[in-house]
Every structure is written in structure tokens, then in C-alpha cells.
Structure 1
Amino acid sequence: MEAAIEEYRPKPKPKKDDFWKALGLPARGAQLHEALEKGVPYKVYTELAVASGLESKELARYVVIKPATLQRRATAGRFKQDEGDRLYRFAEVYKSAVDLFEGDQQRARRWLLNPVRGLGGRRPVEMVATTAGAEAVLDLIGRLEHGVFA
């Protein structure tokens, strides 16, 4: 009796914009600027918590939104511009980390939550609250993707 040979079919790579569409945010450009200016919908926050595997309280801590403020935004349905900007920065860093680990969300989450030597021993999630911190994390991810460790 012959064993059936299974044909290898590589999984199609997810499209780059799938993550952003699932979140409900444009990835870049004028549309993103408009969305941030208008106020990011609260649904983006809940989708980002699910996508990242973080509890709502954890995500709020990393994007510097107090619990009472989070409750008010849930009621209002939108975040203010600066809060939405921090959510976008977190999403951008999270997406870049997932891409670095070739779609492995658990490895990306573990990397984001643990101290990283390339960031002076800081945890990447602690740095996303500021533009400079998020840029440092994104810069490190870019260097790691290209094999530049210095």
C-alpha cells in the first residue's frame, strides 16, 4: 500500500494592509492624518488589544491612557488626537515586531515585553508612549531585519 504524498503549497503571505484594515486605521498618508485629527474610533483600541494579545489595562498603560480616561473614550466612542497618535505608534511598533518575527505573534509579543539590549535594557513596549522612543524601537527592528547589530 502506497502512502499518499501531500502536495506542498506555501501559505500566501498576508497583505501588508490586512493588519491596518482589521484595526480600522489607514497605514499611512493623508487618510491616516485625517483619522488621527478626527479622533481614532474606540473600536481601534479594542482591536489592537485583541491583535496584540494584551489585556485592555496593559495596553492602556503602554499608551499612557488612564483608566478613567479610557472609560470616557469608550462612552464617547473616540480618542483625542494625541491619544490616537499613541495608539497608532503602538500599532506600528507591534506590526513591525510581528514582521521581524515573520508573522509569529507570540515571539513578537515576548520580544516587546522583555528587556532588549539594543534599547539599553528597556522593554520596547515601555518606549512607545513617545515619538522618540517608538522611533528608537523601529530603528532597532530595522537594524535587526538587516543584520546590523552595532
Structure 2
Amino acid sequence: MNIPRLRLRCLAGTAALAMLITTAACSATDDEASVVVPSPDAKAARLCRDLHAQLPKEIDGLARTDPGPKSELTAGWGDPAIILRCGVARPPEMIDPAYAGQNGVRVNGVAWLLEKRDDGSYTFTTGARLAYVEVTLPEERTGDGLGPLTDFAAPIKKTIPKGIA
């Protein structure tokens, strides 16, 4: 038996195994969208958990594909994903009634602040609710207008009461 040859085979096998594990780990996370999970107070977190339980399996015909890290405060649909985050901070623009009035929309009884991002995406944040819900439509999903927001209206109205958070 040749000891140096045996060590070389073990080292080569170990290196190959490490490469395989690293590749598998990267592949698993590369396909998954990731988001920053909000940190709401206890009351808003409870409302958000209630909303999470009511969210549909499809939004605008897109299957649910929740982003990482997994949380009851976030959800996603499609690829590129429509992302929902519940319990976000109130956007500073909501404090200015002139801005919110010019950039607000109402969809099926839910008021939203509309913000266009530099990357072509849109972010909508609910107003006049006890927890703020944010929905981001990537640029590729903006061609359908406000269609995706109609799917969010019923669960939001059912779980997050009107009021000022």
C-alpha cells in the first residue's frame, strides 16, 4: 500500500465533497427571493400573523413562493416575486397629506400610498390601518396595473382593522 497516494485520494475526495456541499448550498438560496423582515410592535405582529393565515395561494395568477428568511411577516408570489411585508414602519410620505393625496390609490376599499422606485418597481403601503402592509411589484409585474392589489384587499380588510398605527 502506498501511503502518499492514499492521502492524496482522501484529500481529493474531501475537496470534492466540500465543493459539492458549497454548490448545493448556493443553489438552494440563489433561486429564493430574500427580504428584510419587519420588526413591528406586539399588537401589529399579532395582526400580521392573522393576515398571513388569510393570504391567498395565488396573487394575480402567480403561485405563492415565500421569500427567505421564512416569516409570518412576509410573503411572496411568482418569480420575480410580488413581495408583501406586514408590520413595516409608516412611510415618511404618509405624514405629508399633500403627498399622500397625490400618490394614493384606493383598491376595493383599501387605501394605498404609491411610490415608484428607481429600479422601475412600485411599492404600495396601506394607510389608515392598525398595521402597515407593504406590497412591492417588480418592474416586470407592473404591466397589469393595480390588479395584484385586488387580491390583497379582502384579507387585509378581514384581519387589519382601520385606524392609525
TM class by shorter chain equals under 0.3
- Which one scores higher on RCO, CA 8 angstroms, separation ≥ 6? 2
TM-score by length of 1: 0.26
Q: Say which one has the larger Rg.
A: 2
TM-score by length of 2: 0.24
